[in-house]
Amino acid sequence: MNRFTLYGSPHSPATFKVALMLCVSGQPFSFRYVSFQKGMHKTAEFLVISRWGQVPVLIDGERIHLQSAAIVEHLADTLGLFRGSGPAIRQHVREWMYWDVDVLAPPVLGCYSVQLERNGLLRLDIEPAIADYHRRRAEAALATLDSHLAGSRYLCSAEPTIADLFCYGDVAFAQICNFSLHDWPNLSKWTERVTQLPGLKAPFELLAMHDAEVLP
């Protein structure tokens, strides 16, 4: 039996970030698929483990962990990987993780939701003006990332940290939403570097639906 069980969806960037951390850390995990289409995330059964009715949820032994940034930080601490060395770098790492949750993740999720609706996978009735707003905010966040990466191999130190893995999770979904990284050369080179980390896989390769254990 695996130590870790991840509840989530291959369509969830936040789930992908946790899965990514587990994979590049060489940790096997069980994956339980939570279908948004079927509203599984709002069932009484799921709310027992996820008080806000959201994915991802990570079970580590007896403990339930929520919020992708907190989960990834927990994994970095408990596995002693991708933390960054020393308190100053770790604080810097935390700042980028919070920035991602605050600035990059929401518009990328918004753009991806528009895409799911266009592909007929979810009915959300997103107004075109709102879709444009998500896209413009995502572009601004990607431009911020690009300018901070000028002259740096990784975001917070010479070695990759969870800040890189975490932000990359959203950049990967931005690419699925047809954002071309050519406009942002530093971001483009950093993305290539991150994707070459051992164990790293693209969103739908990492969380393949056929691996999912579907909830009853």
Ligand X SMILES: N[C@@H](CCC(=O)N[C@@H](CS)C(=O)NCC(=O)O)C(=O)O
Binding residues for ligand X (CB under 6 A): 12-14, 41, 53-56, 67-69, 101, 109
Whose structure tokens read 């009484």? 44
Q: Between 4 and 184, whose beta carbon lies closer to ligand X?
A: 4
At its nearest, how many Å lie between ligand X and the CB of residue 67?
5
Question: 14 or 157, CB closer to ligand X?
Answer: 14
Q: How far is the CB of 174 from ligand X (least distance, A)?
A: 14
Pairwise CA distance, residues 82 & 44, whole Å: 35
Is the CB of residue 179 less than 8 Å from the CB of residue 159?
no
Cα 199 to its chain centre, rounded Å, is: 16
Distance in Å, CB of 100 to ligand X, minimum:
9
Closest to 15 measured CA to CA, from 216, 186, 196, 211 = 211
> What's the closest the beta carbon of residue 214 comes to ligand X, in angstroms?
17
* Nearer to ligand X among residue 102 and residue 159 (C-beta): 102
User: Shortest approach of ligand X to residue 16 CB, angstroms?
Assistant: 8
Nearer to ligand X, 14 or 20 (CB): 14
Contact 145, 108 (CB under 8 A): no
Rounded-to-10 torsion of CA 171, 172, 178, 179: 20
- Please give the distance of CA 146 from its chain centroid, rounded to a whole number: 18
Q: Return the number of the residue (157 or 177) whose C-beta is nearest ligand X.
A: 177
**The tokens of 133 are what?**
């707003």
